[in-house]
Amino acid sequence: MDLSSGAGFGSKLSYGSGFFHLRIKLPGKDSAGVVTAYYLTSQGDKHDELDFEFLGNREGKPITLQTNVFADGIGNREQRIFLWFDPTADFHTYQILWNQHQIVFYVDNIPIRVFKNNKNMGVAYPWQPMKIEASLWNGESWATDGGQTKTNWSMAPFKASFQGFDISGCPIIKNSNNNQECYSPKYWWNSEKYWKLDSKQQMELENVKNKYMYYDYCSDKPRYPIPPPECLHQ
């Protein structure tokens, strides 16, 4: 990414469920205002989207990993953590599990976030076919210290590195929104084992929340005086 443009790539196919895997090494040195993103997204209005967004920072300051979930066009479900390693020093693994029961975000196989299917409570859940995309773009208006810390363009071009782009997914035939086939137990990620975290994974998730999470929309009382309904059951 430089002053003239960012960059990105994505899958040709859309998927209705799956396990999506990418290894990323973030831009080093002074990367304030630089956003590296890896996400699933549907097309059109009222879109569904599952986001990993890495928010750059001044050299020596921690980079934020922000996750978000959009369903039927509604997002504003940000969680933010500091990572327990330097994501600019080497490649690390970032994964998303998506089935009809839950969405799980993983860092190096450790779950950092779970979004359960609570449609029975009136909470929208991502169901539309989604493509996998990755991008590097200018977010200096908001990404670092709420936009107060601007990009140091003397450090451009900023470079992110990607490897191990791997999809275990159920592809959706073009112009078809019938996801029932993608919920089939013939796909390993739909089996009962992946309907919820096991006890070890649950402990790992709680450890991340306790040690590394510094923002959770569910706890933002000025923003949500009444917590969104899914927050009561996560």
Q: What sign for the dihedral angle of Cα 114, 231, 180, 71?
A: negative
In whole angstroms, what is the distance from residue 90 CA to residue 181 CA? 38
- The 3-state DSSP class for residue 216 equals strand
Cis peptide before 157 (omega within 30 of 0): yes
Beta strands in 110-160 (DSSP E): 110-116, 131-138
Residue 192, both tokens: 């009962």
**What is the distance between the terminal CA atoms of the chain, rounded to a whole angstrom?**
36
- Residues 29, 31, 36: CA angle, nearest 5 degrees: 120
Q: List, by residue number, the catalytic residues.
A: 49, 53
